[in-house]
Structure 1
Amino acid sequence: MRVAINGFGRIGRTILRQVLNLPDHGNVQIALINDIAPADMLGYLFQYDSTFGPLPFEVTARDHMLSVAGHRIPLTQQTDLSRLDLTGVDVVLECTGIARETDVARRGLKAGARSVLISGPSPAAEVTVVLGANENSLGDARIVSNASCTTNALAPLLSLLHGLCGIETAHMTTIHCYTNSQPMVDAPRGDMARSRGGALSMVPTTSSATQLIDEVLPDLAGRISGAAVRVPTASVSAVDLVFTMKTSMTNATFGKALRDLVRAQPVLGWTDHPLVSSDLRMRPESLVIAGPETRIVNDRQARIFGWYDNEWGFSARMLDAAALMADREPS
């Protein structure tokens, strides 16, 4: 699979780290990296990462080339991706965060790539795909959204639960680490609460996952509400889900059935250990269910808690979704 990374920020760099960690690089060939930042800065930020730690090998970025672990990857600084030649590229991993309009999202196609996968929600996408929830809806769409990290954590769990016991209504709270959308010190943003220093307070806010669930799982449309609390940690987030079942189950029956189903679902994980958030750093699952935190009240109300590395797990799903897209017959 030949991919191009457009935007070498948090997700773009994490994707490349994962490719380098795969046996034989998972048959993934990085054809090109495009980012407008200076090349030496890109190389430095790729080698030394405050969240995931430094890479164990040298990285150089000069002469329009990123060299790492014996690989030489063309490095461009084009503001308009459509001006590049991407002939032979199966999927553009669109990680700039700006592909919200159709003309921007289509730039990879105009450059000659077969398809584009956007690393976030986008109204320009033909379809939003979440592995473990609705990958069958991919079809022949050429501009695809990989949804959000929280949607990737929540949707496979909801799909599994709805099949197990039925969901009447549910409320999700994501306890989310701070991100670049928040200032480090108080500074104006569109939302007043999110204008406060991200590393200093817990900040109640909204989550795009609530709206995306209606799109990804239309059978549950209108039944799922949600909110977020941004917390002063740098990585790993959590989902706290409370829902009402259609079918009554005991704690023991529910716990065993859920554990078995989770372990059979490739994008989900399970732990019976009393873990804390830092224990989940660099876990590739979309969500890791915390068994000790799962319980039922009055036969029909259940609470499930799970962890997700919102960068590492999401980047793993970007590669998985790209592989599905690349395996399709050329249109």
Structure 2
Amino acid sequence: MKLAINGFGRIGRTILRQVLALPQESNIELVLINDIAPLETCAYLFKYDSTFGPYPGTVAQGDAGLTVDGRTVPMTHSADLTRVDLSGVDVLLDCTGIARSTDVARRGLSAGAGKVLISGPSPAAEVTVVLGANDDQLGSARIVSNASCTTNGLAPLIKVLDDIGGVALGHMTTIHCYTNSQPMVDAPRGDLARSRAGALSMVPTTSSATHLIDVVLPHLAGRISGAAVRVPTASVSAIDLVVTLEQSMSTDAFDDKFRRAIDASSVLGRTDLPLVSSDLRARPESLVIAWPETRMVGENQVRVFGWYDNEWGFSARMLDVARLMATD
């Protein structure tokens, strides 16, 4: 499978780290990176990462592109992707965050890529796919959204709970680390609360996962509400979900069914240890259930708490979904 990355930001660079760590038999070849930043800047930010630490191998730059551990990935620096030759690319990973219109989303196809996977919500996508929740809806779509990091953690969890006992109603709060959408010092933003310094306060705000759950699991549309609190940490977020089940059951019965479902999942994990957020950095799961924090209230209400590395786990799902798209 031949991949290209458009946009070498937080997700693009994390995907490259994961591709480089794959065994040779994985049959994934990264053939091109496009980013408007100078090559020197791209190489520096890949080598020295404040969240995941310095890349342990060698990183160099040359006329051909970015060379990591002796392996060169060609780089282009075009703001207009249609000027880049993507012939032979099976899936373009669009990690720019701007592929929200059909015109922008289709640029990868116009450049020659077979399909485009967008690293975020996009109304221009033919389908929004979350692995472990609705990946059976992928079909032969050529422009696909990988939803959001929070949706990738929430949707598989809700699907499991719905399979166990039917979800009647629920509310999710994501305790989310700050991102580039927030200023480091107070500065005007459309959302007044998000105009405040992201590293100094807990900031209540909205979550795109609230809408995306209705898209990914339409039979539950209108049953799950949600909100976010942005907190002053740089890595690893959490989901705190309370749902009311349609089916009554004992705590022991629920625990047994829930544990079995998590262990059978390809994207959910669990821990019995009293971990904190920094312990979950660079975990590849979409969500790691904190078992000590999960409990039933009565016979119908369940509180579930889980951790997710909103960059590393999401990047891992980008590669997983790209594999599915390439084999269709």
Rounded Cα–Cα distance in structure 2 between residues aligned with 1:38 and 1:61: 11
Amino acid at match of 2:135: E
Cα offset, 1:62, TM superposition: 2.8
Question: What SS does structure 1 have at the residue aligned with 2:313?
Answer: helix
Aligned to 1:94: 94
Aligned to 1:129: 129
Amino acid at match of 1:322: A
Rounded Cα–Cα distance in structure 1 between residues aligned with 2:256 and 2:246: 18
Q: Is the 8 Å Cα contact of residues 64 and 72 (structure 2) preserved in structure 1?
A: no
Rounded Cα–Cα distance in structure 2 between residues aligned with 1:62 and 1:40: 9
Rounded Cα–Cα distance in structure 2 between residues aligned with 1:245 and 1:196: 38
Q: Is the 8 Å Cα contact of residues 19 and 25 (structure 1) preserved in structure 2?
A: no
Greater shift after overlay, 15-24 or 191-200?
Answer: 15-24
Q: Is the 8 Å Cα contact of residues 236 and 307 (structure 2) preserved in structure 1?
A: yes
Aligned to 2:277: 277
Q: Is the 8 Å Cα contact of residues 240 and 306 (structure 1) preserved in structure 2?
A: yes
Rounded Cα–Cα distance in structure 2 between residues aligned with 1:74 and 1:22: 19
Which runs of 5 or more structure 1 residues have no equivalent in the other structure?
A: none
Q: Is the 8 Å Cα contact of residues 58 and 70 (structure 2) preserved in structure 1?
A: no
Deviations 1:286-314 (A, max 9, x none): 00001011111111111000000000000
Q: Is the 8 Å Cα contact of residues 11 and 315 (structure 1) preserved in structure 2?
A: yes
Counterparts of 1:183-198 in structure 2, within 5 Å, are: 183-198=183-198
Greater shift after overlay, 60-69 or 174-183?
Answer: 60-69
Q: Is the 8 Å Cα contact of residues 204 and 230 (structure 2) preserved in structure 1?
A: yes
Cα offset, 1:80, TM superposition: 0.8
Question: What SS does structure 2 have at the residue aligned with 1:194?
Answer: helix
Aligned to 1:45: 45
TM-score when scaled to structure 1? 0.98
Calculate percent identity across the aligned residue pairs. Answer: 71
Deviations 1:59-94 (A, max 9, x none): 112314110012111000011111111111000000
Aligned pair 1:258/2:269, yes or no?
no
Aligned to 2:267: 267
Q: Is the 8 Å Cα contact of residues 40 and 62 (structure 1) preserved in structure 2?
A: no
TM-score when scaled to structure 2? 0.99
Amino acid at match of 1:2: K
Q: Is the 8 Å Cα contact of residues 83 and 111 (structure 1) preserved in structure 2?
A: yes
Amino acid at match of 2:205: T
Aligned pair 1:230/2:230, yes or no?
yes
Deviations 1:90-142 (A, max 9, x none): 00000000001101000110011100000000011000000000001111110
Rounded Cα–Cα distance in structure 2 between residues aligned with 1:24 and 1:41: 28
Aligned pair 1:20/2:20, yes or no?
yes
Amino acid at match of 1:179: T
Aligned to 1:8: 8
Aligned to 1:140: 140
Rounded Cα–Cα distance in structure 2 between residues aligned with 1:311 and 1:225: 23
Amino acid at match of 1:305: F
Rounded Cα–Cα distance in structure 2 between residues aligned with 1:195 and 1:113: 38
